[in-house]
Structure 1
Amino acid sequence: MKKQLLILITLFFCIQFNYAQVISMIGSTSPSGSWTVDTNMNTTDNVTYTLNNVTVTTATDPSSTGLKFRQNADWAVNWGSANFPSGTATQNGANIMTQAGTYDVTFNRVNGTYTFIPSGFTNIGIWGPAVDAVNGFGGPDVDMVTTDGINYTLSGFTFTTGTAYFRFDENGSNTWGSTAFPAGTAVQGGPSIQVAGGEWFVTFNKNTGVYTFAYPSVGILGTATSVGWGSDIDLNTTDGFSYTISNLALTDGVVKFRKDNAWDINWGSLDFPTGTGVQNGAEIPVTAATYDITFDKSTGNYAFTNTLSNPQNSISKAKIYPNPSNTIWNLSHSITIDSVELYDVTGKVIQSFKPNANQYELDGCELSHGVYFVKIKSGADFAVQKIIKN
Structure 2
Amino acid sequence: MEKNYLLAKIFALFSLIVTAIPFYSQTYCSPSYPSGCTNWRITQVTIPEVGFTNSFAAGTCTSERDRTSVVINLNTTTNYTINVSTTNWTACGMAIDFNSDGDFDDAGENLFLPTYIANQNQTYTGPFTIPSSVAAGNYRMRIWNRLGNSGAGTPTADSACATYAYGTWTDYTVNVLEPLSTSEITLSSAKIYPNPVSDVLTIENTKTIKSVEIYDFNGKLLRNEFPKNSKNTIIRLPDLVPGIYTAKIISDKGNQSIKFIKK
TM-score bracket, normalised by the shorter chain, equals 0.3 to 0.5
TM-score (norm 1): 0.29
Report the structure, 1 or 2, having the larger strand content.
Answer: 1
Q: TM-score w.r.t. structure 2 length?
A: 0.41
Pick 1 or 2: higher relative contact order, CA cutoff 8 A, min separation 6.
2
